[in-house]
Amino acid sequence: MSMMIRRGAALILAGALAACGDDDEGFNPTMDDVAGSYTATTFTLTSGSTNLDLLAVGATVTATLDADGTTSGRLFVPDIGSGEIDEDLAGTWTLSGTTVTFTPSTSTLLSDVDFAAGPNILTGEGTYLGAELLLVMTKDE
């Protein structure tokens, strides 16, 4: 009998885990869903086989997206050979489907990066100085 209970519990757990993997499938965000404060949890530059973890060298990104389409925040990258980057992220943002686009008041590193919105996460990929940029920002709770 305990073998049947364990097998049943394992099947329930497997089903629950499989369902969790599809959380962002069918995600149809609104401005209100996406609005909030975000902090970078992944920020990397990859060139060939070299992968640089910008967070590990002191980079930070914080962004607040207000439901009215305005933004605030800061992007900072210490000098890693091409000069320090310290950018004000004040400006606006738009949502088209699941794509979030930042339009800062001044040109920033994020100006050319579109972000995919998922539940409580924004994922952006682009190119910076010939390297592939990956920036993942997680909504603060």
pLDDT in tens, 72-99: 999 999 998 878 999 999 999 999 999 9
Instruction: Please state the separation of Cα 128 from the chain's center in Å.
Output: 17
Conformational region of residue 36, where left means phi above 0, alpha means psi within -120 to 50, and beta covers everything else: left
Angstrom distance (rounded) from CA 110 to CA 19 = 33
Beta-carbon contacts of 79 under 8 Å, excluding residues fewer than 6 positions away, are none
Residue in this structure with the two tokens 């489907």, named with its chain if needed: 97
Burial of 44 (0-12, 13-18, 19+ CB in 10 A): middle
CATH 2.30.30.100 fits 31-139, yes or no: no
Query: pLDDT tens, 35-82?
Result: 999 999 999 999 999 999 999 999 999 999 999 999 999 999 999 887
Average pLDDT, the chain: 83
Confidence of residue 25 (pLDDT cuts 50, 70, 90): low
Please tell me the pTM assigned to this model: 0.78
